[in-house]
Amino acid sequence: MRRLLVLCALCALALPASALAYTSGGADGTLVVRNGSSDDFSTPVVRLVAFHGAIFGQIDGGRIVIDDLTPNDTYVPVVTNYTVHLILSDSMKQVWRGQNMRFRVDGGRYTISLYGVGIDLNAVGQPAAGKVWLQGSATLPADGKYSIDGADFRSLPAVGAWLPIGG
């Protein structure tokens, strides 16, 4: 019993220290998108370029495009509830279409584009370019909100913009 208590005490001390060491690198960024929507499906609401980290979320309706920039690693994107899945033969790009899709991408390095309505996304990691593309709707009254690196939530830009993330 004493060994168990000592082990628990050591873990309680080690976890905060390791979390501090991980987050003090300075290059990681965070992105949260809530209920993002676009006027059409030809322009992405969110585009993370060469992102390395953990990304998960859901889309009420639309399209997910993931380009795996490190195809020989062991990481594989996970998408559920899709109705169409395409693998483009000339690249490592995959496309999913459907409603109420859920997705998770962790590890590896990816370019991820999300098109559609009701997009919710949470991401933490290292964007190689240090930026993310965001665009909401110019006509919908509730086009969604975003937060980068823990800042207050703001309305998605009606005109698409590259915004800095991390660093």
- What is the model's pLDDT at position 148? 95
Q: Are 90 and 100 in contact (CB under 8 A)?
A: no
- Annotated domain spans of the chain: 28-164
pLDDT tens digits, one per residue of 75-118 = 999 999 999 999 987 778 999 999 999 999 998 889 999 999 99
What are the backbone angles phi and psi of residue 4, rounded to the nearest 5°?
Answer: -65, -40
- What is the model's pLDDT at position 27? 65
- The pTM for the full model equals 0.81
DSSP structural state of residue 108: S
For 33, 38, 57, the CA distances from 142, given in Å and listed in that order, are 13, 10, 19
Per-residue pLDDT of the chain (167 residues; tens, 9 = 90+): 444 443 444 444 444 433 433 444 456 899 999 999 988 778 899 999 888 899 999 999 999 999 988 888 899 999 999 999 999 877 789 999 999 999 999 988 899 999 999 999 999 998 876 789 999 988 877 779 999 999 999 999 988 999 998 86
CA angle (15, 16, 21) in 5-degree steps:
95
